Structure 1
Amino acid sequence: MSIPETPVPVPAAVRLLADGEDVHAVRVNQLGGVTFRLRGTGGRVRFCKWAPAGAALPLAEEVQRLAWAAPFTPVPRVLGSGADADGSWLLTEGLPGESAVARRWLAAPAVAVPALARGLRALHERLPVRECPFDWSVPHRLARAVGDVSRLGPAPPVERAVVCHGDACAPNTLLGEDGAAVAHVDLGGLGVADRWADLAVATMSLGWNYGPGWEGVFLDAYGVAPDARRTAYYRALWDAGP
């Protein structure tokens, strides 16, 4: 995900949902998906995720995951979802806080990075593994991979099964005014897996957003020792997608 550098056309369905409110694209991804912020009078803020027709962005699956996770941990409340010939959409209520890659937090990695780690640890501890109906295990992901997995080799044994976020990159954690993690977003891949499936991606994203040298800080704050084998495996699996 990245911040759009040029204006992004607003699909007709999103315009209709906005109903006259200000619409601004705040995130785009490499698959053509766009997240729009809808800002109305009185301070109301909503977000609409848009996936063009044919894009491999399972918004319907995210609706199910958000509904399941909501009783256990702060996630966006779904206001509606749908699809037309042009694409699909997911409308959610705005949450307190701002992305961990907002300008203020990019300038303060010593605050943001430990907060990300503690937020991920809290997510892993709050979501009940035995009650989770969603799978993000290695066999599940290998069956859906679109990249070359022939060089991955055997998966390392599961160190600890948790309900993983599924895309634990820094932008998907919201931080409050005090710098603490307050919620998670973009949970379309949520499911049970080794916690290193999340940790490997979360630590990889630190370099993209905050520069080198923060992985140890993250792992210390999460409360786990580095694991080079699992980190390498799950990063390679991530690259094979989805």
Structure 2
Amino acid sequence: MLSRSSKISVVPFPNRGSEPAAAKPLLPVLIVLHQETSCPGRVGNALQALGHRLDVRRPRFGDPLPETLDRHAGAVIFGGPMSANDPDDYVRREIDWIAVPLREQRPFLGICLGAQMLAMHLGARVAPHPQGRVEIGYYPIHPTPAGLEICPNWPDHVYHWHREGFELPSGAELLAEGGDFPIQAFRSGHAFGFQFHPDVTYAMMHRWTMRGHDRLELPGARPRHHHFEGRAVHDVTERAWLKQFLDSWLARMPPQPLLQAAE
């Protein structure tokens, strides 16, 4: 037995060398939100789980958008109650700013309003349904062969909350189709637009269906209880698909994903 005063020599394993340095942090993802209480929901949670910090900006309340995405792994513009057709300065600025990720070929994702902004930037029309119908709740989605090539395991229903849709921009690739709003997902280079809401968490669904309960009376909207019934059936598949998509989306980042040690 060793005494308390005994010294133990630790012999390193051969060729092991010194301990590896701590991993350098991944670049943050730019997050663009449109209300004071908005959050990036499940998309933000998934990005953080992948090791990315979130750089949250709200241009509507004065936050600037970066002139370059050199210090970001990608950018996501989320939804909101406003329209891409609104004349507000911040709406115009966001639509124009999309030129930055397109020019620099950085990963960009537009969700609902963000997808409509991307479509408009690319020259497509954004407008309400001609019969005034909406998609609020879960609706079927049909991936195209191009969509299946990018991400094979699409859910067959996804969550929506919108009254406007968009045309397929010229030169863009259709990834998924729907019913009342045929263009559900598209890609243009490294930029993606989703008409639906993979970002919605259970808590967000409660808030939206409570605060926006009047919209549940619009033509085509699902009753509130159908939202939660749909989530119980479709959420597991949609969550797994989202993780798979984000992995592939961030892989489109140019080969400089790590911050320099001197920064």
Between structure 1 and structure 2, the one with the greater Rg is: 2
Q: Which has the higher contact order (CA 8 A, sep 6+)?
A: 2
Q: TM-score, normalised by structure 1?
A: 0.31
Q: TM-score, normalised by structure 2?
A: 0.30
